[in-house]
Structure 1
Amino acid sequence: MSRLRDKVWVLPVSLLLALMLGLLPLPMVLQPLRPYWLALVLAYWLIEAPERSGLGLAFGCGLLADLLYGGLLGEQSLRLVILAFILQRFRARIRFFPMSQQMLAVGGLLLNDLIVSAVVHVVVGEPTLPWAYWWSPLLGMALWPVIFVLLDAVRFGRRGR
C-alpha cells in the first residue's frame, strides 16, 4: 500500500465530470472523435484503486450514463462491466506496463467497447454508428497519459513544479 493518502472525494467527482463531458455538445464534424470519457476515468480507477471500484461501480455508472445520454437502457452498463471485467482480470500486468503499453491496452479496450456496442445495436435492430466513430478509440488512447497523470495528481494532491 502506498504511503500517499488519496482523497476520497476524487472518485465520485471524476466520474461525475466524465459523465458531464459526455453530455457536452460538439460540432457535427467533431462528434465522431468524442472519446468515451466515462470508460477512460473508470479504467483509471479500476487500475489504480481496485478496492474502491469494480463491477458494481461500472454497472451503476453505466445505468446512470444510459439515463443521461438517452441510449438503450443497459447498453453502457454492459459495455462498462465488460471493460471492468477485463481490467480486473489483467490489472496486475497493466498496472506495471510502461505508459506506451498502457496506451495500447486502453486503446484495445476502447476498440473492444465499440465492437460490443455495434453488436448490441445489431442484435436489437438499432442503427449502428457511422464508420467515422471508429476513430474515437485512437483519441482516447492518446488522451490516456493526460487523464492518468491528471487524476493521479488530483488524487494525491501533488502540484506541478
Structure 2
Amino acid sequence: MSRLRTGWILPASIVVALLLGLLPLPDVLQPLRPYWLALVLAYWVIEAPEHAGLGFAVIVGLLADLMFGSLLGEQALRLVIMTFILQRFRARLRFFPLSQQSLAIGGLLLNDRIVQLAVHVALGEPTLPWNYWWAPLLGMLLWPPVFVLMDALRLQRRG
C-alpha cells in the first residue's frame, strides 16, 4: 500500500531532474550546471534503496543519454558507478549529518567527472573545459536543500 501512495514521487523527481538538465542556460553558467539527475538518484539510493538500485540507475542513465544526446551508455555507466558506491556505503552515509553527506556527495560528483573524462579520453572525444570541474562543488552545496526538499515530499506523502 505504501508503494502505491508514494509511487509517483520517484518518477516525478526523475522527470524534474531530467528537465532541469535540459534547461537552457547562458554560456557563462553552462559549466556550473549541477548533475541534477545524480543528486536525485543519490537521494533515492540513500533513502529508498528498495526502489532505486543498479538496474534503475541503468534505465535512468539510458533515458538521460537519449534525452541529452550524449554517447549511449555514458550516463548509464556514470550513474551505475555512483549507485554502486552509494549502496556500498549507504549504512554509514545515511546517518551522517547533512554537512558530511554533502562532502561525500561532492566526492561522488567529482568521481563522476573523472569517469566522464576517462570515457571521453578512451574514445578520443573532446574533453570538457577546466571550468566544468566547478559543477561538483555546486552540486555539493545544493545537496542539503535537495535532500530536505525530497525528504519533505517523500515523508509528506507517507503520512
- State the TM-score, normalizing by the size of structure 2: 0.95
Q: Aligned to 1:157, what secondary structure does the other structure show?
A: helix
- Map 1:109-124 to 2 at 5 A: 109-124=108-123
| 1:16-67 CA distance string (max 9 Å, x none) | 1000000000000000000000000000000000011100010000000000
- Map 1:4-153 to 2 at 5 A: 7-153=6-152
Q: Distance in 1 between matches of 2:154 and 2:98?
A: 18
Unmatched tracts of structure 2, length 5 or more: none
Determine if contact 1:43/1:87 at 8 Å carries over to the other structure: yes
1:6–1:151 CA distance, 2 compared to 1 (3 A)? farther
Structure 1's consecutive aligned runs of 4 or more residues displaced over 2 angstroms after TM superposition are none
Determine if contact 1:54/1:84 at 8 Å carries over to the other structure: yes
Q: Distance in 2 between matches of 1:7 and 1:52?
A: 11
Q: Let me know the Cα RMSD of the aligned residues.
A: 1.4
Determine if contact 1:6/1:155 at 8 Å carries over to the other structure: no
Q: Aligned to 1:29, what secondary structure does the other structure show?
A: coil
Q: Distance in 1 between matches of 2:140 and 2:85?
A: 17
- State the TM-score, normalizing by the size of structure 1: 0.94
| 1:99-127 CA distance string (max 9 Å, x none) | 11100000000000000000000000000
Q: Distance in 1 between matches of 2:24 and 2:156?
A: 31
Unmatched tracts of structure 1, length 5 or more: none
Identity %: 72
Match of 1:122, as an amino acid?
V
Query: Aligned pair count?
Result: 155
| 1:6 to partner: Cα distance | 6.5
Higher helix share: 2
Q: Distance in 2 between matches of 1:101 and 1:150?
A: 18
Q: Distance in 2 between matches of 1:39 and 1:117?
A: 13
